[in-house]
């Protein structure tokens, strides 16, 4: 039983050109609750198909992580196939998935080595870690070395995004209701950064062109990058995303740049019309 299996949240997103092996990568079901309606996210969920749920309900959408029981079931089904599992999940400061996975893993002590890792990220950031783990396994690295590769990437990952509906910040407790209402009336666009796995408000601007300039400025602060992913809610690259990719390509001509669609779980935190970047620094750059 030497096969290493990777478990992650179903809200994960991968680079469009990378195709996960379904025998190696298993998804724990992350969902969004709209009142009595529960929508399960998946790596291929198209936001355009679920937008009516966000726009047409009076219930605030809520990110529902995989439960302890769901993790226990997944691990139990995998134990006959492997005694080595890497379980990589959405930031513990955004979701209970990590805590639930950790609790469930205790049931298998002595039977299976389950390494639970806090990505301190979400969506495509989580996907980059899962892909790195899968690639490391394919290269023949030992289990402990694969875990070290993934943990070593976490502090080299950064995410910044902007959103034009401050209601989502109010729901997360990042601004007051009066600030959200006034900001929406004035057309304010707010920036968020993911710092130590926590969403933190940054500055505000008054137009999307200016917001795109600020994203470009953020990326320009890095001397080198291993990868950059542009995140948006459109299932196909928008003109904004393509333009941003072109600007960043001029700054980092040797950096792989991908454009991905985020899903409903992340939309509960940053809204349905957000744009952002996830950047990965090369090994050693964050020291």
* Cβ contact 155:282 at 8 Å: no
Poorest-confidence range of 41-50, 145-154, 175-184, 212-221?
A: 175-184
Q: Pick the closest to residue 279 from 220, 200, 204 (CA basis).
A: 220
- Residue-number span of the structural domain to which 108 is assigned: 4-30+64-154
pLDDT of 48 reads 86
How far is it between the farthest Cα atoms of the chain? 59
User: Which secondary structure element, helix H or strand E, spans residue 207, and what is its range?
Assistant: none
pLDDT surpasses 70 at 287? no
Does any domain span residue 37? Answer: no
What is the chain's Cα-based Rg? 19
Does any domain span residue 137? Answer: yes
For 150-200, what is each residue's pLDDT tens digit? Answer: 999 999 999 999 999 888 888 888 888 888 888 888 889 999 999 999 999
Domain count, the chain: 2
Q: Which two tokens stand for residue 217?
A: 């400025």
pLDDT of 56 reads 67
Does any domain span residue 210? Answer: yes
Distance, CA of 231 to CA of 274 (rounded, Å): 8
Q: Pick the closest to residue 85 from 59, 63, 61, 104 (CA basis).
A: 104
Distance, CA of 73 to CA of 71 (rounded, Å): 5
For 74-100, what is each residue's pLDDT tens digit? Answer: 999 999 999 999 999 999 999 999 999
The answer on 110 and 22 residing in a single domain is yes
DSSP-assigned letters across all residues of 146-206: HHHHHHHHGGGEEEEEEES-THHHHHTTSS-HHHHHHHHHTT-EEEEEEETTEEEEEEEES
The structure's pTM equals: 0.94
pLDDT of 1 reads 54
Does any domain span residue 238? Answer: yes
From first CA to last CA, the distance across the chain in angstroms is: 36
CATH of residue 16's domain is 3.40.50.10170
For 228-271, what is each residue's pLDDT tens digit? Answer: 999 999 888 999 999 999 999 999 999 999 999 999 999 999 99
Among the candidates 154, 174, 199, a domain finishes at: 154
Does any domain span residue 199? Answer: yes
Among the candidates 127, 154, 181, a domain finishes at: 154
Q: Pick the closest to residue 18 from 162, 178, 131, 176 (CA basis).
A: 131
Among the candidates 154, 186, 210, a domain finishes at: 154
pLDDT > 90 fraction of the chain, expressed in percent and rounded: 78
Q: Pick the closest to residue 266 from 276, 257, 258 (CA basis).
A: 276
CATH of residue 227's domain is 3.30.1180.10
Does any domain span residue 259? Answer: yes
Does any domain span residue 42? Answer: no
The answer on 190 and 90 residing in a single domain is no
């Amino acid at each position: 039983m030497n096969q290493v299996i990777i478990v992650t949240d179903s809200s994960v997103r991968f680079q469009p050109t990378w195709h996960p092996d379904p025998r190696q990568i298993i998804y724990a079901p992350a969902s969004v609750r709209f009142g009595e309606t529960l929508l399960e996210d998946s790596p291929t969920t198209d936001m355009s198909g679920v937008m009516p749920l966000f726009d047409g309900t009076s219930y605030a959408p809520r990110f529902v992580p995989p439960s302890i029981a769901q993790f226990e079931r997944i691990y139990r089904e995998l134990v006959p196939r492997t005694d080595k599992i890497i379980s990589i999940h959405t930031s513990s400061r955004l979701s209970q998935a990590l805590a639930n996975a950790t609790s469930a893993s205790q049931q298998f002590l002595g039977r299976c080595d389950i390494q639970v890792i806090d990505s301190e990220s979400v969506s495509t950031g989580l996907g980059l870690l899962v892909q790195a783990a899968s690639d490391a396994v394919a290269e023949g690295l030992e289990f402990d070395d694969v875990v070290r590769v993934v943990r070593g990437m976490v502090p080299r990952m950064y995410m910044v995004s902007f959103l034009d509906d401050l209601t989502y910040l109010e729901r997360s407790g990042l601004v007051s209701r009066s600030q959200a209402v006034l900001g929406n009336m004035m057309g304010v666009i707010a920036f968020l950064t993911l710092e130590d796995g926590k969403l933190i408000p940054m500055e505000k601007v008054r137009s999307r062109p200016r917001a795109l300039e600020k994203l470009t400025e953020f990326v320009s602060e890095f001397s080198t990058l291993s990868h950059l992913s542009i995140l948006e809610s459109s299932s196909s690259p928008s003109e904004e995303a393509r333009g941003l990719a072109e600007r960043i390509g001029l700054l980092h001509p040797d950096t792989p740049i991908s454009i991905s669609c985020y899903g409903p779980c992340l939309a509960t935190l940053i809204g349905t019309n957000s744009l952002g970047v996830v950047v990965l620094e090369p090994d050693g750059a964050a020291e």
